[in-house]
Amino acid sequence: KQEVTQIPAALSVPEGENLVLNCSFTDSAIYNLQWFRQDPGKGLTSLLLIQSSQREQTSGRLNASLDKSSGRSTLYIAASQPGDSATYLCAGNQGAQKLVFGQGTRLTINP
HEC letters along 22-56: EEEECCCCCCEEEEEEECCCCCEEEEEEEECCCCE
Q: What's the closest the beta carbon of residue 44 comes to another protein, in angstroms?
A: 4
Find all residues with CB under 8 Å of 59, minimum gap 6, and list them: 47, 48
Residue 111 in the binding site for another protein (CB under 8 A): no
Q: What's the closest the beta carbon of residue 43 comes to another protein, in angstroms?
A: 4
Residue 40 in the binding site for another protein (CB under 8 A): no
Residue 85 in the binding site for another protein (CB under 8 A): no
Residue 12 in the binding site for another protein (CB under 8 A): no
